[in-house]
Structure 1
Amino acid sequence: MSPADLADAIRCRAVAAQGRYLVALAAPPGAGKSTLAAELVALLGQGAKAVPMDGFHFDDAVLIARGARARKGAPDTFDVRGFFHLLHRLRAEDEVAIPLFDRSLEISRAGADIVGPNDRILIVEGNYLLLNEAPWPDLAPLFDLTVWIEVPEAELDRRLMARWAHYGKTPAEARAWIDGNDMPNIRRVVAGSRPADLVIRQG
């Protein structure tokens, strides 16, 4: 399924929906969730908006206090309950401020974007939207459609090496971070996610 085909499928399903239509776009780290979400929003046009889960990263100060900074990006390093409440608000309220994660600063910025009353189709993207580990399954009833991006592990590794080089890590630092953090998360989410309604294959 191409991005254009996926956009058409979302559009057809959203026509009959009451209120906002929430699409869960899930995939492991490095799969290109943000890129595909932006492409879908462009293809869907006015009334579509991306909502990233990454704005709910716990701050480094919190992770350091919990001894979890070296595992940043693991399922328990997100404020999943805060994210859950955001999804409820997106269902019930016309205008909702959402946080965005600034990777260059490694920090979430509260109220960094607005979902307005004309934003009817929301592409919600994140690693763990389909993870079958508590409390993540509590999110399931809040999505109208679920989509999984499937990418071979070797391609995810290549993309992550390029990502961390872009953000200033040396090849050795990038390799250590991927092997110690990203790859365990990739394997956890691939093995432990529920099947999606639709699958798009890349790489």
Structure 2
Amino acid sequence: MSIADVEDATFDQLVGWAGALVVPGQRRILGLTGAPGAGKSTVAEQLVDALGPEAAVLVPMDGFHLANEVLIALGRRDRKGAHDTFDDGGYARLLATLRAQRTDDPVVYAPRFRREIEEPIGSSIPVHPTTPLVVTEGNYLLLESDAWPAARSCLEQVWFLAPDTAVRHRRLVRRHEAYGKSPEDAKRWALGSDERNAQLIESTAGRADRILRLP
């Protein structure tokens, strides 16, 4: 990803582009991706709020974090957030189900991730069949390994959020501190495990439909 690839955009433009994907009676899925701290969760939540509950619902990838006890058994707890610490197959299957959901089908319940306990909670997000747009966000939507390509195939578009690196690092440190890490541990995690994941994620940006920087 080079600076030339990055498109400056306002939030109002994002709302307009997402609104163009809303077609009553049809199901489309919009993906937001980017490195840790890129603002995916915040932008996705704001987009869904702006479009309204009749038009859009948010189903984050984070609901497919493997449980801590599973990560401990696999020896991966110390790098939680890496691509192989998610149930990518389960995420891809859910997206396929949501993409195929029709207006007379039952409600589908998706999981969500609770940061305060660092665990996923199943059947937490109702996706009604009449909601035309599902917005999903996560780090690895453009990764070309394991089940991630199957997940990508369900998405109408994927937007890659690319803030300045310094901004992204500050957000990460604040987030880790807000959930209980000391300032030293927060910085170590943001510049260590998070940054290793960021390098992998940024290598996928060229496969996005848009690479965006918000003011």
Q: Distance in 2 between matches of 1:13 and 1:90?
A: 15
Q: Distance in 2 between matches of 1:78 and 1:142?
A: 18
> TM (normalized to structure 2)?
0.88
Correspondences of 1:15-30 after superposition (within 5 Å): 15=23, 19-30=26-37
| 1:132 Cα deviation after fit | 2.8
Corresponding residue of 1:137: 149
Q: Aligned with 1:142: secondary structure?
A: coil
Q: Distance in 1 between matches of 2:150 and 2:19?
A: 25
Corresponding residue of 1:113: 125
Q: Distance in 2 between matches of 1:92 and 1:138?
A: 14
1:9-51 Cα deviation digits (max 9, x unpaired) = 1222433x86211001111111111110111112212221111
Correspondences of 1:16-95 after superposition (within 5 Å): 19-45=26-52, 46-93=54-101, 94=105, 95=107
> TM (normalized to structure 1)?
0.93
| 1:175 Cα deviation after fit | 1.8
Q: Which amino acid aligns with 2:117?
A: L
Corresponding residue of 2:137: 125
Runs of 5+ consecutive residues of structure 1 not aligned to the other structure: none
Runs of 5+ consecutive residues of structure 2 not aligned to the other structure: 1-8
Which deviates the most, 190-199 or 116-125? Answer: 190-199
| 1:197 Cα deviation after fit | 1.3
Corresponding residue of 1:158: 170
1:135-168 Cα deviation digits (max 9, x unpaired) = 3122222111111111122111111111111111
Q: Which amino acid aligns with 1:28?
A: A
Query: Superposition RMSD on alpha carbons, in Å?
Result: 1.6
| 2:40 is aligned with 1:11 | no
Aligned length in residues = 202
Q: Aligned with 2:143: secondary structure?
A: coil
- Please say if residues 92 and 147 of structure 2, whose CA atoms lie closer than 8 Å, have aligned partners that are also in contact: no
